[in-house]
Structure 1
Amino acid sequence: MMTIWRYLYDKRMWIVFQLILLFLLNVLFFVDNAIILHRDALIYMNVLYGTGVVGFFVWQYRMEKPYYKALIEIVHNPAIDVLAQLPHANTYEQQLTQQFVASLIKEYQQTLSETKQAYLDQTEFIHAWVHEVKAPLTAMKLTLDANRHDPSMRKIAADWTRIHLLIDEHLHLSRIASLDRDYLVQQVEAESLIIQEVKTLSSWCLEKNIAIEIEGENPALLTDEKWARFVLRQLLTNAVKYSPVGGMITIESGVRENIPYISIQDEGKGIPAKDLPRIFDKGFTGQTGRKQNAATGIGLYVAHTIGEKINMTIQVDSTVDVGTTAILSFSKPNHYDALTT
């Protein structure tokens, strides 16, 4: 808030100048014998001069206060059109300030527009690339399905699955911005989600001879099936990726403290304790990921981001050389959800 004291502080150089000028006038009257001035007249002159200076600054403060008040309101409550909110400029200094602000806003809007256009171009390119890649991938999948009993196809099927997962990961990453418009809450059985994702990764599991055990209850989940499947897929993908050949992955579903959950436990190398707080950071691969040269640092970041948007939480516990457990907790059901599903 622009107070009178703040205003006077900003004008302190002018005030000091007036005081010095008044002091020099008094010295002149005392030193110059040609000037004869009675003491009372000298006091009267100083009081009159001081009153005039104070009155001038008070008047100027009252004139400029509305301008400062309007600027403060813009700072605390900025609108989309800042230029339209700017008050009328009364001085040349204020005019220059507003011109400078206008130039900054114009440059910012231009940069923002160019950034948005670049993002849209990149997103459009990714979508086009994904659709172009899907055609040969679909043809490969048909060939693999037709020759699934051929042992030589097992490795190709696993590689196909990894390519499919990477494309799916980037496709979901590009769609996060529009998740609010592409979100449908419905009741889904936990077992249905789990089985679908296990089937998706079956060829990779066969290549590594990984056994998957599903246990626990089959709770009903109130969530968006498509996005929930993607998050579960990322957690299961990490479990398969870091599990040793011939390992075991245990998937458990149930309800704990009235909150449905799905947990995935593997027998991999585990995550060092110092890396655990950063596993959801974008681009972070960690010590295990760097050693195996298999991590992109995107999967868990995307899963965590989506989870926050659709009210799911991911908790990861890990012990080095023992394994990792990822727990996916879903939102607690309530009466509103029961009415809308």
Structure 2
Amino acid sequence: MMTIWKYVYDKRMWIIFQLIVLILLNVLFFVDNAIILHRDALIYMNVLYVAFGIGFLVWRYRMEKPYYKALIEIVQDPAIDVLAQLPSPDTYEQQLTHQFVEALVKQYQQTLSETKRAYLDQTEFIHAWVHEVKAPLTAMKLTLDANRHDPEMRKVAADWTRIHLLIDEHLHLSRLSSLDRDYLVQQVEAESLIIQEVKTLSSWCLEKNIAVEIDGSNPSILTDEKWARFVLRQLLTNAVKYSPEGSVITIESGVEDDIPYISIQDEGRGIAAQDLPRIFDKGFTGQTGRKQNAATGIGLYIAHMIGEKINITIHIDSTVDVGTTATLSFSKPNHYDSLTT
């Protein structure tokens, strides 16, 4: 806030100049014998000069305060319409400030427009590339399904699954901004979500000889099935990726404190304690990801972002060289939900 004291400090050089002028006038009156001025008149002149100076400062402060106030509001809230918020300039200095701000806003808008255009062009190119890739992948899948009993094809099927997951990850990331418009809440059984994702990763599990055990009470979950499956897929993918060959992944579903949950427990390397607070940061891979050179730092970030939007809480516990347990906690059912589903 622009106070009178800040304004006075800003005008300190002008005030010092006026005081110097007043002192010189008083010295002149004392040393020049040609000027005859009574002491009371000199005091009156000094008081009058100071009073007019103070009055002028107060008047200028009141005149310039709206302009300073508008500038402060723009600094504190850059989202407002800058040019509309600025009052009409009164001084040449304010005119220059207004012109500078106007030029800066136009340059920012132009840069923003160019950035958006470049982003849209790049996004359209990537989307086109992804859809082009899906066609040969579909053909590959048909060939793999027709030769699933061939041992050599199992390795290819596992690699196909990893490619498919990466493309699917990208598609969900690109759709994240439109999630609010692509959201359908319905009752889904936990076991249905689990089985579908286990089938998706079955070829990868077979390649690594990983067993998947499903346990629990199979609660009914109120969520968006497509986005919930993607979040579950990211956690299950990490469990398969970092689990050693011949290990077991345990998936449990149930209800705790009226909140349905799905947990995934693996026997992998685990996550270092210092890495746990950062696992949802975009691009963070951690010590385990660096050692295996397999992490992108995107999967958990996307899962966390989606979870926040569709009210799924992700909690991860891990012990190095023991394993990791990732738990999805879903929305607690209420009376309103039962009326709208």
Q: Which amino acid aligns with 2:263?
A: S
Unaligned regions of 5+ residues in structure 1, if any? none
Question: Judging changes above 3 Å, is the alpha-carbon distance between structure 1 residues 79 and 168 closer, same or farther for their aligned structure 2 residues?
Answer: closer
Measured in 2, the distance between the counterparts of 1:65 and 1:315 equals 52
Q: Mean alpha-carbon deviation: is it higher for 32-41 or for 248-257?
A: 32-41
CA distance in 2, matches of 1:285, 1:202: 25
- C-alpha change, 1:183 and 1:116, in structure 2 (3 Å) is same
User: What's 2:124 paired with?
Assistant: 124
CA RMSD of aligned residues (A): 1.5
Alignment check: 8 A CA contact 2:244 2:267 kept:
yes
The DSSP-based 3-state class of the residue aligned with 1:152 is helix
Equivalent pair of 2:29/2:35 in contact (CA under 8 Å): yes
Distance 2:175 2:319 in 1: 34
Question: Hey, what's the Cα distance between the residues in 2 that align with 1:250 and 1:282?
Answer: 27
Tell me, in whole angstroms, the C-alpha distance in 2 between the residues paired with 1:69 and 1:216. 62
Q: If the length of structure 1 is used for normalisation, what is the TM-score?
A: 0.96
After TM superposition, the structure 1 stretch with the greater mean CA deviation from structure 2, 50-59 or 199-208, is 50-59
Letter in 1 for 2:299: G
Shift of 1:48: 2.1
Is the 1:71–1:87 Cα contact (8 Å) retained in structure 2? no
Q: Distance in 1 between matches of 2:230 and 2:166?
A: 12
The one-letter code of the counterpart of 1:318 is S
Q: What amino acid maps onto 2:177 in structure 1? A: A
Moved more, 193-202 or 330-339: 330-339
Q: Specify whether residues 216 and 79 from structure 1 end up closer, same or farther in structure 2 by C-alpha distance, changes over 3 A only.
A: closer
Matched, 1:68 2:68: yes
Question: Which residue pairs with 1:277 in the alignment?
Answer: 277
Identify the residue that residue 215 of structure 2 maps to in structure 1: 215
Displacement of 1:179: 1.2
1:54 aligns with 2:64: no
Letter in 2 for 1:112: L
Between the aligned residues of both structures, percent identity stands at: 86
Counterpart amino acid of residue 131 in structure 2: H
CA contact (8 A) 2:74 2:80 kept: no
Report the CA distance between 1:75 and its aligned residue. 4.5
Q: CA deviation at 1:8?
A: 2.0
- Report what 1:30 is aligned to: 30
Partner amino acid for 1:264? I
- 1:314 is displaced (CA, Å) by 0.9
2:92 paired residue number: 92
- Deviating runs (4+, > 6 A) in structure 1? none
1:2 and 1:68 in contact (8 A); partners too: yes
The reply on whether 1:115 has 2:99 as its aligned counterpart is no
Moved more, 22-31 or 10-19: 10-19
- Say if 1:157 and 1:204, in contact at 8 Å, map to a contact too: yes
**Counterpart-to-counterpart distance in 2, 1:209 and 1:87:** 72
Alpha-carbon distance in structure 2 between the residues aligned to 1:35 and 1:80: 60
Within 5 Å, give how 1:1-341 maps onto structure 2.
1-76=1-76, 80-341=80-341
Distance, in Å, in 2 between the alignment partners of 1:244 and 1:255 is 30
Instruction: Return the alpha-carbon distance in structure 2 between the equivalents of residues 242 and 218 of structure 1.
Output: 26
Distance apart, 1:76 and its partner CA: 4.9
Unaligned 5+ segments in structure 2 are none
- Separation of aligned partners in 2, 1:57 and 1:208: 81
Give deviations 1:158-195, integer Å, cap 9, x for gaps: 11001100111111111111111111111111000000
